[in-house]
Structure 1
Amino acid sequence: MAEAPVPFSDEEIAELKRLHGLGLSRNRIARELGRSGRAVSVHSDRLGLTYDRTLTAAATEAKMQDAKARRAAIIEQLYDTVEEELAYLNGGRYDLVEVSAGTAVKYSPTRLPAQDRKALLTGIGSAMATATRLEALDTNNGVDEGISLLGQLATGLTAAYNAMNEGAGDAP
């Protein structure tokens, strides 16, 4: 069972009024009095004291804008990664190494083995899906997420890969 809050003394109430009159925030007053923010809020309400929340609102908005900018930078990096991986996938010549009888054997196929293509396309699809979800946070509260062109592209790439490689097994 929770303990009943300790009532404010007359001195604490006077100090609360004084600090409020100086324009201190509720949290700052709580620190000064050694009380919880909730206790200060309850006593402030009883005394009819209110706090200016414009600074809090401005700080919250600034944090939201910072997060939006960070998401935009991450999205850009994800797109760069997707472009790099697609360019590699479509490169046409690959320098690969396998170990055979304890010896490294280098070879250069014109097409990646199926398991490597699958892994690469899975990574591309994952990066695209992540970018799409991050973009949805900043557009219509996610309403466009279901019809995103990027999401459809990721799904299409996976379907194309599966169709191209049904039953295929590339051996070097």
Structure 2
Amino acid sequence: MGRPIDDDDREQVRRLHAEGRSRNDIARAIERSPSTVSKIAAACDPPLTFDRAAEVETATRVRRADLAARRADLALTLHDVAEREIGRMTEPHLYFEWGGKDHTYAQKWQDEPTPVDRRTMMATAGAALDRSLKLAPPRDEVGERSRSVIGRLMEGLARNYAERHGSSPDAPDGDDDG
């Protein structure tokens, strides 16, 4: 059986509670069980409570706000990735290889990436934009803004294609097999 509760225990519980300490912290400080601290707190006039719902609610709101800010930062980073990949599609590109029995290194600069590499860059940009919009969807004028951004992106890509190939990507090329 534990030692009886005395006035010193009651005073210590009141003082530590006033400091904002938790029930378990108080129990450790006065070397009593948490249930004994609860009994002492309940017997006080007025009874002391260890209800931390308001603190938990505030902490939860702060945590959610922090996570929202991190998602917004990550969304910006993903937009940067998309822009970088789209920009690389028309820049000179270095190709290299190791090979042969002597393990020789060869490299070659091309005016722009191969179609396969451009397709990979476009897929990377698309995936980055998709994830970015899922992390931080536009809030105001959602449809109009999204359409205008995607529309400008598509117009720019079509213009670039036409400059490089002399026609728009959807124009017939004249050699239908059909």
Q: TM-score, normalised by structure 1?
A: 0.53
Q: Secondary structure at the match of 2:105?
A: strand
Q: What is the rounded CA distance, in whole Å, between the counterparts of 1:128 and 1:35 in structure 2?
A: 57
Unmatched 5+ stretches in structure 2: 155-168, 170-178
Of 94-103 and 72-81, deviating more is 94-103
Q: State whether residues 75 and 134 of structure 1, in contact with CA within 8 Å, keep that contact through their aligned partners in structure 2.
A: yes
Change (3 A) 1:58 1:40: farther
Number of residue equivalences: 140
Distance in 2 (CA, whole Å) between partners of 1:121 and 1:41 is 64
Deviation string, structure 1 residues 58-77 (Cα, Å, up to 9, x no partner): 44433333332232222212
Amino acid at match of 2:13: L
- Letter of the 2:5 counterpart: D
Does structure 2 retain, via aligned residues, the 8 Å contact 1:44–1:50? no
Return closer, same or farther for 1:31/1:112 CA change in 2, 3 Å cut-off. farther
Contact 2:42–2:49 under 8 Å retained in 1: no
- Residue 32 (1) aligns with residue 29 (2): yes
Once the two structures are TM-superposed, the CA of residue 94 in structure 1 deviates from its matched residue by 1.6
Residues 54-106 of structure 1: CA distance to partner in whole angstroms, max 9, x if unpaired? 45544443333333223222221221121111100233x32222235333332
SS in 1 for 2:107: strand
Contact 1:97 1:105 in 2 (8 A): yes
Range that drifts further, 45-54 or 116-125: 45-54
Asked if the contact 1:94/1:109 (under 8 Å) is kept, the reply is yes
Q: CA deviation at 1:107?
A: 2.3
2:166 equivalent in structure 1: none
Larger helix proportion of the pair: 1
Partner of 1:19: 16
2: CA distance between counterparts of 1:16 and 1:120?
A: 65
- Aligned residues: percent identity? 23
1:10 has 2:5 as partner: yes
Structure 1 pair 18–106 and aligned structure 2 pair: CA distance change class (3 A)? closer
User: CA RMSD, aligned part only?
Assistant: 4.5
Whether contact under 8 Å (1:30, 1:36) holds in the other structure is yes
Q: Separation in 2 of the partners of 1:40 and 1:116? A: 70
When Rg is computed on C-alpha atoms for both structures, the one with the higher figure is: 2
CA pair 81-23 structure 1, distance change in 2 beyond 3 A: same
Asked if 1 retains the 8 angstrom alpha-carbon contact of 2:14 and 2:41, the reply is no
Q: How far off its partner does 1:129 sit?
A: 3.2
